């Protein structure tokens, strides 16, 4: 499981560093003698904008970018962007995410402070409006 925060190793975009991390893990797995492929998951904040309420909450997130900064005195980190847009644009953006493509599973992060009903709406939107365009099941 690789989260939305990691040590910055190269200054490259988050999804590229994360994809390289996945490749390194899988190579080490094989070198250790394991014969089956390990499962790998990544997490993403994905907010489909399908209603006026979605737009009010997340319309500004469409300009989200990776963030780089110090989290410890000697460690620079990179925090992956949030994905918030209309479903067809989310499909395009997630198809371009190299770590999402390399992973077996995508774990969705949800804004729990907005409550169960709203999060059920977000999850339903991802399942019905975004996932089919990505070939997710």
- Tell me what the pLDDT averaged over the chain comes to: 94
Whether 72 shows a pLDDT value over 90: the answer reads no
Q: Strands, E, within the chain: which ranges?
A: 5-7, 41-48, 67-72, 75-79, 83-85, 105-109
pLDDT at position 6, please?
Answer: 92
pTM over 0.95: no
Question: Phi-psi region for residue 18, left (φ > 0), alpha (ψ -120 to 50) or beta?
Answer: alpha
User: Domain coordinates of the chain in residue numbers?
Assistant: 5-134
């Amino acid at each position: 499981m690789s989260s939305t925060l990691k040590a910055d190793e190269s200054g490259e975009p988050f999804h590229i560093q994360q994809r390289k991390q996945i490749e390194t893990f899988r190579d080490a797995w094989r070198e250790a003698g394991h014969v089956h492929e390990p499962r790998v998951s990544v997490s993403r904040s994905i907010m489909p904008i399908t209603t006026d309420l979605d737009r009010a909450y997340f319309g500004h997130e469409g300009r989200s970018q990776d963030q780089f900064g110090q989290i410890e005195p000697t460690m620079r980190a990179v925090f992956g962007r949030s994905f918030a847009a209309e479903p067809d644009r989310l499909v395009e953006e997630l198809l371009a995410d190299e770590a999402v493509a390399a992973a077996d599973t995508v774990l969705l992060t949800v804004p729990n402070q907005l409550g169960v009903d709203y999060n059920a709406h977000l999850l339903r939107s991802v399942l019905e409006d975004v996932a089919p365009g990505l070939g997710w099941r």
